[in-house]
Amino acid sequence: MIWARWLIAASSLILAGYWITRLVAARQRGEPYRTLEVGQAVTCLGMAAMSSPLGGPLAAASWQTVFLLLAAWFLISDRDHAHLHRALSALAMLYMISAATHGDHFAGEPWLAGTHTGGAALPLLGVLAAGYFAFTAAGCTLRLTIGPRTGTVACELVMAAGTSYLLIDML
């Protein structure tokens, strides 16, 4: 569904703006850059590029490198459960870019367009990841109604739901 891809791409760009705004605000307060905001902004930009019906401005290999480095960083700096979730998010992005059948796609072509033909490599891994992100989205929905930090939780909800949708669509 093309409208779903546009919706995910647009919301991902808005969320990237949210995280970049947080980075700028922290910098203006004299705080150092925080890896959470940087990782989230990059993930949102990658999600926008992957889901965009127009395609991404960078080759898939560039994003594969970025997401591999992000996953490694969050796994190495595993301070808490949130860092593990960020690593899993980066690995899911890496999986979506790597497992989809790209054929001879160039940098400007949609990466995941037309991949819902069952041609993804390691489909069980994709199903497990989709389930994880669907569960995460459901948890975020509950946290929105009962907890603080609604901005961060809302971002997580949108990204988890979008990731789950894209994973299911590519399988």
**Cβ-contact 6, 48 below 8 angstroms:** no
pTM across the whole model: 0.74
Residues 6+ apart with CB under 8 A from 10: 48
**pLDDT averaged over consecutive 10-residue blocks of the chain (171 residues)?**
84 90 87 78 84 73 86 79 82 83 46 52 83 88 71 81 84 75
**Cβ-contact 170, 116 below 8 angstroms:** yes
